[in-house]
Amino acid sequence: MAGTTDLRALTRAFLAAHDPAGTDPADFLRARFDAGLAWVHFPPGLGGLGAARSEQTVVDEELAAAGAPDNDPRRIGIGLGMAAPTILRHGTDEQRRRFLRPLWTGEEVWCQLFSEPGAGSDLAALATRAVRDGDDWVVDGQKVWTSIAHAARWAILLARTDPGLPKHQGISYFVCDMTDPGVEVRPLRQITGEAEFNEVFLTGVRIPDAHRIGAVGEGWRIAQTTLNNERVAIGGQATPREGGMIGVLAEAWRERPELRTHELHQRLLKGWVDAEVLRLTGERLRQQLAVGQPGPEGAAMKLAFARLAQELSGLDVELRGEEGLGYQDWTMTRPEVVDFTGRDAGYRYLRAKGNSIEGGSSEILRNVIAERVLGLPAEPRTDKDLPWKELRR
């Protein structure tokens, strides 16, 4: 296992051999992965060195100081935050070798085919079917609220492989090729005017059995790895003090004294404290991640993040008065990256409404926290042991 000194020396030696100023960015990223400096906590040969997760900051600091290109992490966040940890933990050696490198370099973008029109909050009720046909699975169904599907090369997919079992048991986990002719992506226009989300129709899509992650029927268990990592990725991102939405508000407060009132000042102070508590809690969660896998704590982070983002975006509009009601960019576009702080207050207010839905609705996350963190009795579930095909839909 490499230590801090070794990692710093390794990174500097890598930079000496791959000058960022004279190396094609794509070639630089591929070489960085091969050198084990992509995810230092991943195994050797898969972008890492088997080091502690916390040592990644050493590598990132050296590369940033040298002006090295990054892999545009916001654009490939689903691959980095959801697909990669799932493939690493549950995939075969061949799947890890095939998918992790182009995923990390950003050459192949990933999306997530989980939610369905009739199975959003109750994901285990999903109806998309996968039927075995020789060495392939034939998939038919519909998915919804799929971020960046319009730019994705691959998708992580949950499909029902045995409708005769209870809903949590008859699900399997696949990697779906989004360029298959049976995959149709349609935009979903949001209240912001944009269409960053999509609905995806799957008609006779053939997925080779080699692209199944884990055993048949183990999809729900494997999906927990994805979902726990997703909630951490959304709610537990590293931010500097006074970063993100609270930073935008604080800047407006300092630069625009004519906007100030006592009541708004009190609300701003509360928001600042809540943002700092959330930031420090995120730091503690990332320290826990350095020695293990994410658990239900990520649900609390994501829940708090959604609530705070909506409160601060509403305060942002109120602080700016009539100016805050304006929204200059209400146009039909297909963004691949969501930019909160670089847009006007009207956009931030509208887009924040989705924070309590994406990555698991706030209602579901409260159930997760109640049952898995606080140990409270589970809600009655009369359909838990019934075969999925007998459920009313």
State how far the Cα of 111 lies from the Cα of 202, in Å rounded to an integer.
Answer: 14
- Contact 62/12 with Cβ under 8 angstroms? yes
**Phi/psi of residue 175, each to 5°?**
-105, 125
Q: What is the per-residue pLDDT across 64-105, written as a single tens digit (0 to 9) for each?
A: 999 999 999 989 999 999 999 999 999 999 999 999 999 999
Count CB neighbours of 232 within 10 A: 26
Token couple for 292: 């293990």
Q: Which segments of the chain are extended strands (E)?
A: 110-113, 129-133, 136-143, 154-160, 171-177, 183-188, 197-208, 212-213
Residue 287's pLDDT band, with cuts at 50, 70 and 90, is low
Domains of the chain: 1-70 (no CATH), 110-217 (2.40.110.10), 223-373 (1.20.140.10)
Q: How many residues does the chain have?
A: 393
Q: Which residue has the higher pLDDT, 5 or 276?
A: 276
pLDDT tens for residues 222-276?
999 998 777 666 655 667 888 888 998 999 899 888 888 899 999 999 999 999 9
Whether 40 contacts 56, CB under 8 Å: yes
- The predicted model gives 300-323 an average pLDDT of 89
- Which residue, among 33, 32, 38, has the nearest Cα to 18 in the 3D structure? 32
Residues forming the active site: 230
pTM of the model: 0.86
